[in-house]
């Protein structure tokens, strides 16, 4: 098993990380919907869903990278969390451009580096 963890510990870690996705996006739904309704600004959802989703994905990648000592996923998660939240300082369509190019570019770089990471692990 990776990192010398027993099979049961690795399986539990995978299950917990899987459940984290559902929990995080349910929480994001409540936060965005509640905020938009409380402020009576439904248009907020148009910007908060893409940026919030990238933020959640970034945090989960960051946690997964830390738990499994996967520096590539940790770095990708850190980058996604930072660019998604920083993009909120820009007016529309700025956040969408940031998510598309900085976020998409990070995924492209990670896809190129992943085979190298796996080869080093063996």
Task: For residue range 41-63, list pLDDT tens digits in order.
Answer: 999 999 999 999 999 999 999 99
User: Which of 108, 98, 110 is CA-nearest to residue 51?
Assistant: 98
Task: For residue range 83-120, list pLDDT tens digits in order.
Answer: 999 999 999 999 999 999 999 999 999 999 999 888 88
Contact 109, 75 (CB under 8 A): no
Task: For residue range 15-40, list pLDDT tens digits in order.
Answer: 998 999 999 999 999 999 999 999 99
Q: How far is 60 from 8, CA to CA, in rounded Å?
A: 21
Task: Please report the pLDDT score of residue 2 as a whole number.
Answer: 55
- pTM value is 0.87
34: Cβ contacts below 8 Å, ≥ 6 apart:
none
Task: Please report the pLDDT score of residue 6 as a whole number.
Answer: 72
115: Cβ contacts below 8 Å, ≥ 6 apart:
none
């Amino acid at each position: 098993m990776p990192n010398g963890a027993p099979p049961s510990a690795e399986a539990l870690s995978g299950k917990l990380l899987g459940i984290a996705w559902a929990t995080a996006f349910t929480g994001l739904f409540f936060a965005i919907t509640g905020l938009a309704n409380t402020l009576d600004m439904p248009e907020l959802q148009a910007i908060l869903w893409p940026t919030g989703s990238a933020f959640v994905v970034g945090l989960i990648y960051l946690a997964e990278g830390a738990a499994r000592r996967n520096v590539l996923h940790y770095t990708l998660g850190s980058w996604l969390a930072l660019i998604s939240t920083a993009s909120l300082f820009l007016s529309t369509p700025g956040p969408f451009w940031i998510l598309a190019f900085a976020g998409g570019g990070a995924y492209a770089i990670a896809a190129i580096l992943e085979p190298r990471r796996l080869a080093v692990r063996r």
